Structure 1
């Protein structure tokens, strides 16, 4: 009944009058970062929606259009598959089924955001991408969260692999994020240190937006969020802060259905034949001059979850986001926590489906958890690959409680870290967890990467760290002595240059390189070109056992590449790799899986463009008394609008590895504000 009441009241509750925009302040600092103040949390969320729309309404709309299955109307045939996926995942049914589970207090926050974004759209009709996309409803916003979290956990790659018939492969991309926390006993300044350093796309729906949210109801949080988000996803409040990194446990289950030999859509579970639920998904696709045509696609569903048919059979899949929509509510509770006890209470919801959490607070508490909403699975089966979908024994039975997840509180070493490595190397060896103590069906693995190896090299150099030492670690761009990329590159450093013929200079440059990826480094570009060259033919070679002949060919590929595009062999990383904003490009350092990581895509004329990696950076010191000391930088600036002065004003800071001072003192923010105003 509560859900019905909510829906019936939607028209009168989600209106800007209820939230009184005249009571909401948007305070823009000199960098254009919005500091939102209002009496209530719901009003703050309204102000956040308005301010974020001023800076990036287009991306917010794209997320909402996807949730409303209107991407085909906006992008034409390129957008229609997104609309199909939303229908295949049954995002609307998921929201309708679980909306009653959301705390009414958080519903108010979501309503505030919806009211703010609807008000902005009404006042800026010329910016609306698709007619009839507004007003946005409560269901729409939660559908957007379900879709975004499903994609974050790999639904897009999984569905693509299923349609292509690649059902036994897992697409582990080189995703990077760093989180470091250091206790007072290991710092020379008697402060707690925290580094929030997620490596996300530099632009688009998963790029960070910085905001500061303040209310009279105890909300005072600064940090990063994604377009459409009504709360901070990671950052700091007056008491505590945390950083997220992508983690790797078993987040997706794929089941091969046993189909009836004669009846097309019957599948067996135990001794019963069940019929696949079939529906027609209606897609509206823009084709030319605004003309839209209707397209219908079939989508199937089973007791295991959505179903994709391919040449190998019928395959169902299951993800935690199908059973949970309270992730944003959990982030809100984390925003409002004042100590580790309250923070863990928020985490006990286990509503956020994944992401490591590294936590620090002013009370000198450190905490790490390999967070996730992990299904309880039958140990009789091998969950590392495709599971047989013909028995109720393989249907997951609920989810593990928070206490089952790998976690460490206040290690004796005085530090915690994660660089997307496994949950079982998070601190000094004597304090680490043992993988054998955890349910193997959860899929947590013990593994390290280049960044974790390098961090361990650096953290072991000093018993205590100064603030500058901590910054040196965060901005380190040197690979460890032995590389652990998925393609084995270590033998390249032992090849005989005399056998490289005309490519000997390339090989000598790589072998004399100190493995540093600073912008002026000579050898970093060479290794990256070699790596990308081998990746292009990875389906034809054994990437862990490459022959000497194949290595020499790869080295010669680098020589030919450099001569073709640069007319010389001696090319620095900054000549090859660029940070691009609008029509401007800047030399930038960094390589995949160095601590200060940059991953690039080809941009033409032999150069590559930074795509993911270093983006929003927050560095925090927690003294014993007073507010935390905060420094942040976002790769480009606060706005995605080219005519804004804050479109690219943080680039010089970012490239020089500097940060801007930020404060949680809203009165101090007002004193130095560039502009203070109210949303409409």
Structure 2
């Protein structure tokens, strides 16, 4: 019977895939003025095929890097750095996780992933000169799922835990990030009676976790516009005709670390419930690119326990566990969310928690707004301290079941008419009297209760706008770049605004600039660059509670730095911080943890350039009837190919805080498209 079901499954899958296999001319890729792909096809698998092709046209390099990692072939292309990723894929047992859980994926969604894989493989076959490794293709459905097991594990902190353990440190599983924003306003709070949604996650500006914008349309009810990552067959957040949502990273306790009790006579035996259990081990074969294209074959052991992957170091033997090890259907859940039509249906879709983390802030045409701090969080024995490393010698600490959806912090349609999350605690998501309470939730979930500068500022802004909010005010809130009165940074920088009698004079000159600054981090402002440089000095010196002497040294450093590189002290942020791509270099807003946040990296001549932060922005208005009104911007453009006109054509709009108009009306797209073609 099982064999019959297996054959039937693949027969149905093959039947579903026939249309795009035989009729690529049915798939339309429509490029708008900005080069954004709008993909139409009769069936959803065909749309996925078209998405793969269009995305490969724009960024085949990054898609290849994502898939090479999943196939444990990155070392053959990147050398030692890539081999590290290959080893992590083996350590996490991504292949085994996919093998174990693949049967849970519905045939309908399997067809979507097959369609995507077929599109990538077809592009690779037709563009052999672009391949990093000739034998990396074709890719399979399993490769795509493995890529997302790895990516979601990394986004939930696996890389930081592994790095800490290999560096002989006890990992801190409390995760911190660079920030994202999501804001929903109900129709009762807007002066034009639209429901508003701001989709504004802060991601790397380039690379495997940078946003790609696409519009996906089929005759089977798929009409979704938004952002996805390289290798993604669906939109991860954005809007359809009826509803939309934004993700931000959340910080419950997503990772449990266990210290194993090792047998003194056999380092590969560990104790569980008074019995010795042997560590599972396997050799991970790695091929590493060295010189002149030569590849060196090496192998490294990886261990596994009942708790999860194992790392041995000088302090002991440690295992760790995360929800992503038990669930591979996150991308299937995103696909179903893409096609949801109302709040009830949306909640039903997300209620079985296949996406392992992320806040969700939702809005729709019916004026519903909703927030949940989503996560696959184990039901934990409260007799243990889950905030630290756990004993790995008892089955009582082994994750078995997970909290249900109803256990998660969430709010629907508060009377205040607004919801937000800026990576802050889920217990501060709306007007204070309507917030949920930390005490009402299982403390072993480990939800953070801290606030940050962005959430503090957001509360200030909503208190300032207690009446109806206009669309312009909403956009100004989203683009707000002002620090709150009291700052919440890792280093306590607050005293700098109250210091007096600083010597030498050069330190006092910088101090006066910082103290006279209005705390708005726009490119044209004088003061943000000075605070950034002063903070960087304290950060490099690992000074978390600076004394007056520490501030004096930091301010002196800032003076010396500016006079060395800019020949003066009185510079604007945009002279120091740039948005750079190709031959285009523009002044750039933002500092860490303002609402319009930006994190930078060294550039040249003493300048820095944007690295992570404001990137893909989507602003949506939902009417009661008709399609949503959508405006978006992507930090650089639709293509990562330097010879494309869309490589950096959105940069000017981006730095001017302007958006481009988009539509979900595929006929309007077709009528105005600059190019319409088929993926062949």
TM-score (norm 1): 0.97
Mapped to 1, the partners of 2:450 and 2:236 lie a distance apart of 26
The 1:17/1:520 distance shift into structure 2, 3 A limit, reads: closer
8 Å CA contact 1:352, 1:373 repeated in 2: yes
Moved over 6 A (4+): 6-16
Structure 1 alignment gaps of length 5 or more: none
Counterpart in 2 of 1:589? Answer: 589
Q: Is the 8 A contact 1:19 1:112 kept in 2?
A: no
Q: Write out per-residue CA displacement over residues 132-180 of structure 1, whole angstroms, 9 at most, x where no aligned residue.
A: 1000011111101101111111111111011012214346444211000
Partner of 2:520: 516
**Residue 294 (structure 1) aligned with residue 297 (structure 2):** yes
Question: 1:498 deviation in Å?
Answer: 4.2
Change (3 A) 1:584 1:490: same
CA-CA distance at 1:370 after TM superposition: 0.4
Question: Alignment partner of 2:136: what SS?
Answer: coil
2:495 matches 1:487: no
Equivalence for 1:157: 160
- 1:598 alignment counterpart: 598
594-603 vs 61-70, which moves further: 594-603
Aligned partner of 2:400 in structure 1 is: 397
The equivalent residue for 1:629 is 629
Inter-partner Cα distance in structure 1 for 2:172 and 2:556 = 31
Q: Does 1:469 align with 2:473?
A: yes
Alpha-carbon displacement from aligned partner over 1:344-385 (angstroms, at most 9, x marks no partner):
011012010111000000000000000111111111101111
Shift of 1:397: 2.2
Write out per-residue CA displacement over residues 530-586 of structure 1, whole angstroms, 9 at most, x where no aligned residue: 111111111xx3x1x321111111111111111121121111100100111023321
Unaligned runs of 5+ in 2: none
Match of 1:322 among 325, 350, 370: 325
> Aligned to 1:288, what secondary structure does the other structure show?
coil
- SS class of match (2:382): coil
Per-residue CA deviations over 1:494-541 (Å, capped at 9, x if unaligned) read: 111443433111010011111010111111000000111111111xx3
Q: Is the 8 A contact 1:254 1:387 kept in 2?
A: yes
Does 1:460 find its partner at 2:463?
yes
Aligned to 1:223: 226
Equivalent in the alignment of 2:413: 410
- Structure 2: distance between partners of 1:414 and 1:17: 45
Query: What residue in structure 1 maps to residue 122 of structure 2?
Result: 119
| Residue-by-residue CA offset, 1:643-665 (whole Å, 9 max, x unaligned) | 11111111111111111111100
Asked if 1:81 corresponds to 2:84, the answer is yes
Is 1:157–1:171's contact at 8 Å kept on the other side of the alignment? no
**2:588 is equivalent to residue 612 of structure 1:** no
What is the match of residue 525 of structure 1?
A: 529
Question: Structure 1 CA distance, aligned partners of 2:37 and 2:141?
Answer: 24
Q: Structure 1 residues 26 and 248 mapped into 2: Cα distance closer, same or farther (>3 Å)?
A: same
* Separation in structure 1 between the aligned mates of residue 394 and residue 620 of structure 2, nearest angstrom: 51
C-alpha separation in 2, matches of 1:357 and 1:679: 34
Is contact 2:157-2:173 (8 Å) kept? Answer: no
Q: Displacement, 1:447?
A: 1.6
Q: What aligned pairs does 1:182-197 form with structure 2 within 5 A after superposition? A: 182-197=185-200
The answer on whether the counterparts of 2:20 and 2:49 sit within 8 Å (CA) in structure 1 is no
- Listed as ranges, the matches of 1:548-567 within 5 Å are 548-567=548-567
**Secondary structure of the equivalent of 1:274?**
strand
Residue 258 of structure 2 corresponds to residue 255 of structure 1:
yes
Cα offset, 1:484, TM superposition: 0.6
Go from structure 1 to structure 2 and tell me whether the alpha carbon gap of 1:182 and 1:17 turns closer, same or farther (over 3 Å shift): closer
1:353-364 equivalent positions in 2, closer than 5 A? 353-364=356-367
The reply to whether residue 61 of structure 1 matches residue 72 of structure 2 is no
Match of 2:661 in 1: 661
Task: Report whether the alignment pairs 1:95 with 2:95.
Answer: no
Q: State the alpha-carbon separation in 2 of the partners of residues 574 and 374 from structure 1.
A: 43
Change (3 A) 1:62 1:11: farther
Q: CA deviation at 1:91?
A: 0.4
Could you tell me whether the CA contact under 8 Å between 1:330 and 1:349 is conserved in 2?
no
- For 1:95 and 1:208, locate their aligned partners in 2 and report how far apart those are by CA, in whole Å: 25
TM superposition shift of 1:19: 5.7
Q: Distance in 1 between matches of 2:114 and 2:519?
A: 51
CA drift of 1:460 comes to 1.1
Moved more, 174-183 or 227-236: 174-183
> For each residue in 1:107-145, what CA deviation from the matched residue of structure 2 results, as whole angstroms up to 9, or x when unmatched?
010011001000000000000111110000111111011
SS of 2:213 mapped into structure 1: strand
After TM superposition, give the deviation of residue 8 of structure 1 in Å. 7.5
Q: Distance in 2 between matches of 1:607 and 1:16?
A: 53
The answer as to 2:284 corresponding to 1:284 is: no
Partner of 2:148: 145
CA distance in 1, matches of 2:15, 2:258: 44
| 8 Å CA contact retained: 1:500, 1:507 | no
Maintained 8 Å contact 2:538/2:546? no
What TM-score, normalized by structure 2, do the two folds share?
A: 0.97
Match status 1:501 vs 2:505: yes
| Distance across 2 between alignment mates of 1:16 and 1:349 | 31
CA contact (8 A) 1:510 1:524 kept: yes
Residue 610 of structure 2: SS of its match in structure 1?
strand
SS of aligned partner of 2:267: coil
Cα distance 1:532–1:658, how it changes in 2: closer, same or farther (>3 A)?
same
Match of 1:642 in 2: 642
Q: Is contact 1:577–1:609 with CA below 8 Å preserved after alignment?
A: yes
Matched, 1:205 2:208: yes
CA contact (8 A) 2:173 2:253 kept: no
Deviations 1:279-326 (A, max 9, x none): 100001111222112100010000000000111000000011110000
